[in-house]
Structure formats: structure tokens, C-alpha cells
Amino acid sequence: MISPVTSAGGDAYITLLGRSTWALVNAYHAVLREKGLRPERVSIVTEEPYAEDASTAAEAVRIVSGRYGVLPVIEVIVLPEADFVRAGQTIRSLANDFIRQGFDVAIDITSGRKVTVAGALIAVSVAGLDLRHIYYLAMKSTDDVAKPYMMIPHQIQRIRDIMEDAGARP
């Protein structure tokens, strides 16, 4: 018997961890602060070479979330390195599961490596999934940005929502 789809409501946030844990954490902080997102679920997707940083990223997400009164369920998913197809399949399945549960889904691509980002975006696009947000923390300079979001001058960073910028969302 197939269990019924439950309507969870709320937000789910999928973030891609590549070389920079700071980029992931700072983008997450910016989304909470600037965009008002309050995720109930956070999935950190990374590749094997970066897996050891995932626990640090998860703890940082937990700390930042607490500052905004959010206590999301956080999971880490480790993928093989540079496997475009597997990355796409995994992220498509994850996003689809969240949507079926009634969540609005946001994906953050800031820290993700190109192969993971491309795999994810192509797979969700081909599947026709209704992503609410695709976030990217744009930096005018990458000098001296390996520090907390609030310590980086706001004039050199801006959280972008590609869905809004493309006119797909108001």
C-alpha cells in the first residue's frame, strides 16, 4: 500500500557543499536574514572529498538556525565525486520527495561544485519540479570572505534568487 502524501507545509532547503564551508553557511545565513526563509528540513549534499566538512557545515547550520528560532531536521547526503548523473538523480529525488510532502523547496548552489550544480538543475528542470527558490550568494570580491556572514561588508555580497531574477517567481 502506498502511503498518502501528507501536507507538511513550510520550507525545505537543499544546499550543495563543495570546497567552501563558509560559502554554504554564509549563504544559509543570508537566506534566513534577507529572504525570511525558515526551513523545517535542511539537506546538505556533498561529494566524497568534502564529506569530512559536512558535519561542520551541519553544526553551523544548526547554530545559525537557532539564532532565527528555527530547529530544522538536518541531513547529510554524500555522493561520489564528479558523478553528474548520480548528483542529478539524488537531488531530483530529494526535491520531489519534499514537494510530495507539501514543502516549498529551495536549493542553494553557492558552495556546490559545477558538476553537482549542473546535475541538480538539469535534473529538476527536466523533471518539471516546482522549485520555489534557487539561491546564490553573489560576492563582488572573494578576498577575505572566509569568515561569518555578518563580518563581511554587505556592499560586497548579495543573496540572489535565480527564480525571482528570471521572473519565475514574484
Q: Is 79 helix (H, G, I), strand (E, B) or coil?
A: strand
State the pLDDT at residue 131: 94
| Contact assessment for residue 57 and residue 25, using Cβ atoms and an 8 Å cutoff | yes
Residue 3 binned pLDDT confidence (cut-offs 50, 70, 90)? very low
- Residues with Cβ within 8 Å of residue 128, at least 6 apart in sequence: none
Could you count the other beta carbons within 10 Å of the beta carbon of residue 67?
A: 10
Overall pTM > 0.85:
yes
Phi–psi pair at 110, nearest 5 degrees? -55, -50
pLDDT digits (tens, 9 = 90+) for 108-131: 999 999 999 999 999 999 999 999
CA distance 53 to 46: 9
Q: Which domains does the chain have, with CATH numbers?
A: 11-165 (3.40.50.11700)
Mean pLDDT of 28-57: 97
Examine the pLDDT at 154 and tell me if it is beyond 50: yes
pLDDT digits (tens, 9 = 90+) for 85-106: 999 999 999 999 999 999 999 9
Rg (CA), the chain: 15
